[in-house]
Amino acid sequence: MIVYKLEDRLNEVYMHWFLFVMAGLRDLDHLSKPLYFHTKITENFQRETLELLKPDYIYVENILPGSTVVKCHGAPLEGTKYAPAHYYPFVRNLILDRNNLGSPRDPFRLLYISRNKVNSLAWRQRLKQKVAKRLVNEVEVYAKLKDIGFDFIFLEDYSLLEKIRLFQEAKVIVTPSGGGLTTCFFAHQKTQVIELRVDDWDQYNRICVVLGIPVTVYSNVKIVDVDTQDIAVNDVDDLLQYVQRYTSGRT
């Protein structure tokens, strides 16, 4: 048996699972199927991903003696933080189209995604990472958003399939910038993403841009903790007016 061993070039498997590891399957896609591969997995959502790749791509948990191992990297880097654009639709189709997970109906839900559970993730606890990019005045922000119909969710509470369904059903998503936005790979083509961000880390924004998913950055925020990169919205009423432009269709 030939087993292709995929490695993330950046060695940050959670953050770059779809952006680089799964995207790397594109360079093996021309090979005859089924294709057997191995890669490092640490999280439940990664195992859930592997189930969606069958029967063409089969994950090998333990490489048996006598197997031929071919080492290969995931998608190449373009600059310091992107994969080349042609890898993005491959990832979307790999998960969404082949499993008939797209929604034919127009999106209808209004979602605010919190990052206040992000430090509970197993990979963060192992690495003892401080960066969280939480919204510290979230209670005040959500009180305003709730009044116009937004639901409050933690992505950590959902399976991968449930996350995909949320992003297919969402008319508007408001959230601080963070790794959960990689789920934008599978968002509805009419989902409007509003990313709260003060820095120039546009890795998740680029997913939407390349795939033609509407996205905008609300930057009237400030960093309140340099160590954790936690942020605060400067003017909650201004954010509300900004969001209402998209919920009402007046952009």
Does residue 103 sit within a domain? Answer: no
Residue 195 DSSP symbol:
E
Q: Same domain, yes or no, for 84 and 116?
A: no
Q: Same domain, yes or no, for 40 and 119?
A: no
Q: Same domain, yes or no, for 93 and 176?
A: no
What is the pLDDT tens value at each position of the chain, 251 positions in all?
999 999 876 655 445 899 999 999 999 999 999 999 999 888 899 999 999 999 999 999 999 999 999 999 889 888 878 899 999 999 999 999 999 999 999 999 999 999 988 755 555 555 555 667 899 999 999 999 999 999 999 999 999 999 999 999 999 999 999 889 999 999 999 999 999 999 888 989 999 999 999 999 999 999 999 988 899 999 999 999 999 999 986 65
Q: Same domain, yes or no, for 7 and 91?
A: yes
Q: Burial, 139: exposed, middle or buried (Cβ in 10 Å; 0-12, 13-18, 19+)?
A: exposed
Q: Same domain, yes or no, for 201 and 85?
A: no
What is the domain extent for residue 32?
A: 2-97
Q: Which residue in this structure is represented by tokens 């709260």?
A: 196
Tell me, what CATH number does 139's domain have? 3.40.50.720
Q: Same domain, yes or no, for 158 and 92?
A: no
The residues, any chain, with a CB within 8 Å of residue 30's CB and separated by 6 or more, are none
The predicted model scores a pTM of 0.91
Q: Same domain, yes or no, for 162 and 242?
A: yes
What distance in Å separates the CA atoms of residue 9 and residue 180, rounded to the nearest whole number? 20
Which of 97, 124, 159 terminates a domain? The answer is 97
**CA pseudo-torsion sign 73, 78, 81, 84:** negative
Q: Burial, 195: exposed, middle or buried (Cβ in 10 Å; 0-12, 13-18, 19+)?
A: buried
Does residue 68 sit within a domain? Answer: yes
Instruction: Evaluate whether 19 touches 30 at the Cβ level (below 8 Å).
Output: no
Beta strands in the chain (DSSP E): 2-7, 35-38, 57-59, 68-73, 109-114, 151-154, 170-176, 192-196, 215-218, 221-225, 230-233
Q: Same domain, yes or no, for 225 and 115?
A: yes
Does residue 183 sit within a domain? Answer: yes
Does residue 48 sit within a domain? Answer: yes
Number of domains forming the structure of the chain: 2
